[in-house]
Amino acid sequence: MKLFQQFLSQLTTGFTPVIDSKFERQDYGLVDLSVNRSINLEHNPIQKTQTFINQFLKQTNKTIAFGGYLEQRNLYDRSPHFTNQLRDIHIGLDIWCPANTAVISPLNAVVHSFKDNCELGDYGPTTILQHDFEEITFYTLYGHLSRKSLDNIKVGQTITKASPFAEIGSAEVNGSYAPHLHFQIIRDLGDYFGDFPGVCSKAKLNHFSNNCPDPNLLLKIY
């Protein structure tokens, strides 16, 4: 797996965005949404999360908040989609930005699959891209998109690096979260189609962290 991580890191040479390229590296700030900085989401969870993000951006003089890889969170406590299986460790990277922000691929790709995962706390509209190299195939997942993002997309469609192919969804359609992109690298997708776990239990952390390495290997935000 270390060889795969090295391979990923070599695919990009510097900061490589997955949202609108008008935002530069210095616009991003690393935010802590772990249980150590717990947010009381008992009432108005969407607004409380957005308020927390807004305060962070104001305090740090940043435009985009990002983070969350292998972060243990309580953001999922309100949804049986996670609590029934005791999953609370985030295995992707979140980029918190306004709804309708363009989503772009860090690499050339083809569309593997897409689906509207519409349960409370799930991804909402989701697209998975497939990246093929001579000896390696892997996937990137884009969750919490707008429904419009799925209107004209097709399996097998070519996606060019840095070209917009989707947009961030609002809380009404994105699984009921403050607007953000969930970006995840997946080595072995198995039989999943338009979906893949983005949060895991502590017991399965070793498996998922190996199969879903740190997205910063590609993005190089920090």
What does residue 195 show for φ and ψ, rounded to 5 degrees? -165, 155
**What pLDDT is attached to residue 19?**
98
**What pLDDT is attached to residue 76?**
61
The alpha-helical segments, DSSP class H, found in the chain are 2-10, 45-60, 80-83, 205-211, 216-219
Q: For the chain, which residues make up each domain, given as ranges? A: 2-219
Question: DSSP letters of 112-170?
Answer: EEEEEE-STTS-EEEEEEEEE-SS-EEEEEEESB-GGGGSS--TT-EE-TT-EEEEBPP
**What pLDDT is attached to residue 192?**
98
Q: Which residue has the tokens 């997946």?
A: 186
**What pLDDT is attached to residue 39?**
66
**What pLDDT is attached to residue 120?**
87
Name the stretches of the chain with pLDDT < 70: 1, 38-43, 76-86
Find the distance separating the first CA and the last CA of the chain, reported in whole Å.
Answer: 22
**What pLDDT is attached to residue 61?**
98
**What pLDDT is attached to residue 78?**
55
Q: pTM (2 decimals)?
A: 0.94
**What pLDDT is attached to residue 2?**
84
In angstroms, the Cα distances linking 100 to 18, 141, 160 are 14, 18, 20
Q: Are 8 and 218 in contact (CB under 8 A)?
A: yes
Q: Which residue has the tokens 């309100």?
A: 78
Amino acid at 39: I
Q: Which fold has domain 2-219?
A: Glucose Permease (Domain IIA) (2.70.70)
